[in-house]
Structure 1
Amino acid sequence: MIVITAPTGNIGHQVLDHVLAGDQPVRVIVRDPAKLPTDVRDRVEAIKGSHADPQVVTRAFDGADAVFWLLPPDRNAPSAEEAFVGFTRPAAEAMRRQGVKRVVDVSSLGRGTAPAGEAGYVTASLAMDDLIAGTGVAFRALTMPGFMDNMLRQARVIKERGMFFDVIAPDLRLPAVATRDIAAVATRLLLDTTWTGQEEVLVLGPEDLSCNDMAAVISEVLETPVAYRQVPIEALRAQLTGPGRSDAMVQGMLDMMIAVDNGLYGGIARTPQHAIDTPTTFRRWCEDVLKPAVRSA
């Protein structure tokens, strides 16, 4: 039995589709089963509720061989630690109690490279990994940089203004990964019954690009000029602050972005295997995903 959390989200639904192509029974934890596609609903066992609920995860993890653990966004959490560690604590206890064999989670780069101070969501994410590892379960933490798919949030701005914005220095080269590659790596691990122990798995994408590099690629793919504009961190704070988002979660996002700009992803050694495991280049992603999104924005 493979259990998948957040099965209607951007990554989770892709993992679910891939796993259903195999022959393993699948169970999902979902707040609203009606949001599952009809053909999927008929092929999975759906446990209704939140995967932060002790009773829900106890039921869902009964007889589970593997669990895909992915947090939902909680913009109003009292702290980043509560959003990651607090949310995961009931599941970690259920993993141990129910004898789950293997867990794959979505985490972040930064262990060993994070600044001495607080790195916001990254610090909380790594603490979540430590909590899961402490159960003794066989564990693979998928540690990754920013997602290419985050650019979709600015599809309308790209279309209407010919630019996109971030707080990152324009020439700082960073890794980026497509969510479809994350889902593919997760699926391989979930279907593989042979691995043991606990490891971090670097999910880097095939290349490092700066925001200026990305602007050049987007311009070529869309066949129209697109520029990158760096904004001050306080401008991002103003954009994020508002109803439905706690001050602590805003600060957690800002702390993470500051850490990235200050070298959070520095010192990571690429190997040819990273391009094999996560082959989607930014150009290919722009052609397949961003271009249609911009056209329809």
Structure 2
Amino acid sequence: MKIDRLVSIIMVLLDKKRVGAQELADMFEVSPRTIYRDIDAINMAGIPVRGASGVGGGYEIMENYKIDRNVFSAADLSAILMGLSSLSNMIRGEELVNALAKVKSFIPADRAKDIELKSNQIAVDLTPWMGSRNTQPYLEMIKTALQESRLLSFEYEDRHGNKTTRTAEPYQLVLKGSHWYWQGYCHKRNDFRLFKLSRISNLHIQDEFFTPGEYQKPQLEFADILSSMQTRIKIRIHKSVRERVLDYCTDEQIFPDGDEHYIVSFPFIENDYYYNILFSFGDKCECLEPLHIRTEMRRRIQDIAAIYEGGK
């Protein structure tokens, strides 16, 4: 993880007079270009690292600059500890354990209790309540493939239930909302794809290596796209599902309707995903308008009822 590498680079530069970019790249198994970006990030954080060219050149912390355990505030160390701890819950690995140990070594004894208190004020647990048991082992496999630049093979099921066998070059792990994805170059599609972890099965790391290049970052922000596609429908909900409805709209779009109900201006796109959201509220939700969506809701309810007709 990047924060582990940044902390480690700082400690290496503190221990050594000068270190070359290639030596750092070999040490952390990344490209020199990644090291250049890391050095820029360290400089932006306020630790002056300068580069020297020519024979014996490399990077070093400026001679008159001193760093001690007080360089990180209690808030800084707490934030780092929270981030590393949340990742270590999901992705096991010696590097995360080492990073936690290194960060904790920066904590002076007289500030340990305060920093522990602050780091425990926010708990970030990325493990799911329930669901696929493959999540953690698959995350570890993808992480290994990323670090070693090895191909991954797997079966992928699209949202329509169609399964295909894929081989892809992994480039990035992504946590979006409560779901894990990974971005890779798919050999079947000859293009970059974002794969949802819950739709993957039979994941294997291949013996074949690939040379990472520039990659297409996934589109993760859809607010503008969705707002241009969505329309507003009027629904009436029982107060018991108000909290869940707030996952999709704001307080300003919810209006009291008597003591037990609310009228909601609900964002909606006419597809299965949004119809299923409405159905997830059960009999605590009624679509009032527009008429054609209310009619479609009735048709879908009748189709569901037909499945159970004649049953025992």
Q: State the TM-score, normalizing by the size of structure 1.
A: 0.28
Q: State the TM-score, normalizing by the size of structure 2.
A: 0.27
More strand by share: 2
